[in-house]
Amino acid sequence: MKNKKILLILLGLAILTIIIVDFITFNKKQISIEYPIYDNVEEAINKQNEKKEIELEIKDLKYAVPIFMYHWVVDDTAGYPYIENMVRPETLREQVEYIANNGYESVFTTELGNLAAYEKPVMLTFDDGFVSVYQNAFPILKEFNVKGTVFVISELVDTPGYCTKAQLKEMYESGLVDLQCHTATHPYLAQLTREQMHNEMQKCIDYLKSEFGITSTVMCYPYGSRNSITIEETQKLGFLYGLAMDGGIYYSGRDNDYEISRIYATRSMKLSEFVNYLSKSYVNVEI
């Protein structure tokens, strides 16, 4: 009888020990992944890609990603004839707030190959690098902790109306804004010779590398202008993806990696229309 009591006591202690160890281990895991802190955009992406490679052996992947395209973010159109390119800051704020509060996951364009790590991805892209992106869009992204990608025209940096190098650096180092290639001077690429196309893209690649340490892997075609030669040069230069101007939602199995569709976020777009595009976002992973 005495031996039986001792055995029961020992069994109880063993069970209690297992519970305590599991509890401590669980808490440690929660603490280690709940608030990841990264030094910059590239580190964040690398960590996410490592997680994907470790956890997922993907057999099939289907997705729909709304990729919104912006240019200026301003109230005053200053007589500009194409005001649809100029989204009001308050409109952007409503859109970003909706993303943040409704379970959508903001994703950099460089993460197009990492979509299996998400459930409801959305991408915000800002073409040209206008100073209004720094002045009016960047504070909104920071307020709601939402990511965006700025496509830089390298020879227009530090010129009137465009971001300075210091402003681009500040946005990039925040971890919320990535910088990618939009050529050196913003030409219609399809109208250029192969050599001219190459030079336009190469100069922008070199600028992003030398000034920010960024290896650009996403090309955004100015005006959406491209042809088969443009795409060949884009691939030769090491870009993994090429973005068009429009075309709607980016669906797997429809767009190829060098002609990816985007949604034109206009000044007159109502929140209900924006939400309708968002609602199409999905990622289905078969592992």
Question: What mean pLDDT do residues 127-133 have?
Answer: 98
pLDDT given for residue 47 in this prediction = 47
- On the question of pLDDT at 126 being above 90, the answer is yes
Q: Of all residues in the chain, what percent carry a pLDDT higher than 70?
A: 79
Summarised one tens digit per residue, pLDDT across range 55-76 is 445 557 899 999 999 999 999 9
Residue recorded with tokens 């946005």? 171
pLDDT given for residue 34 in this prediction = 28
Q: Which residues pair with 243 in a beta bridge?
A: 220, 260
Nearest one of 230, 184, 186, 185 to 207, comparing CA atoms:
184
pLDDT given for residue 15 in this prediction = 53
Summarised one tens digit per residue, pLDDT across range 159-204 is 999 999 999 999 999 999 999 999 999 999 999 999 999 999 999 9
Sheet with strand 250-251: strands edge to edge: 250-251, 60-65, 282-286
Backbone angles phi, psi at 123, to 5 degrees: -125, 135
Burial class (CB in 10 A: 0-12, 13-18, 19+), 210: exposed
pLDDT given for residue 98 in this prediction = 98
Backbone angles phi, psi at 263, to 5 degrees: -105, 125
Summarised one tens digit per residue, pLDDT across range 215-254 is 999 999 999 999 999 999 999 999 999 999 988 999 998 8
123: helix, strand or coil: strand
pLDDT given for residue 57 in this prediction = 57
Summarised one tens digit per residue, pLDDT across range 79-95 is 888 899 999 999 999 99
Residue recorded with tokens 């219609």? 188
pLDDT given for residue 23 in this prediction = 41
**Confidence (pTM):** 0.79
Structure-model confidence comparison of residues 2 and 268, the more confident one? 268
Nearest one of 276, 283, 280 to 63, comparing CA atoms:
283
Structure-model confidence comparison of residues 144 and 17, the more confident one? 144
Residue 245: both structure tokens together: 């101007």
pLDDT given for residue 121 in this prediction = 98
pLDDT given for residue 35 in this prediction = 26
- Where are the alpha helices (H) located in the chain, listed in sequence order? 2-34, 41-55, 89-101, 131-132, 138-144, 165-173, 194-212, 228-236, 271-278
Summarised one tens digit per residue, pLDDT across range 187-198 is 999 999 999 999
In angstroms, the CA 145 to CA 79 distance is 33
CA angle (176 as vertex; 155, 254 as ends), nearest 5: 80
Whole-angstrom CA distances from 244 to 171, 224, 260 are 24, 5, 6
CB 179 within 8 A of CB 168: yes
Q: pLDDT-based confidence at 13, cuts 50/70/90?
A: low
Q: Is 38-286 assigned to CATH 3.40.50.300?
A: no
CB 126 within 8 A of CB 71: yes
Question: For residue 130, what is the DSSP state?
Answer: B
Domain chopping of the chain, boundaries: 1-35, 38-286
Summarised one tens digit per residue, pLDDT across range 88-116 is 999 999 999 999 999 999 999 999 999 99
Mean pLDDT over all residues of the chain?
A: 86
CB 181 within 8 A of CB 199: no
- On the question of pLDDT at 50 being above 80, the answer is no
In angstroms, the CA 20 to CA 6 distance is 21
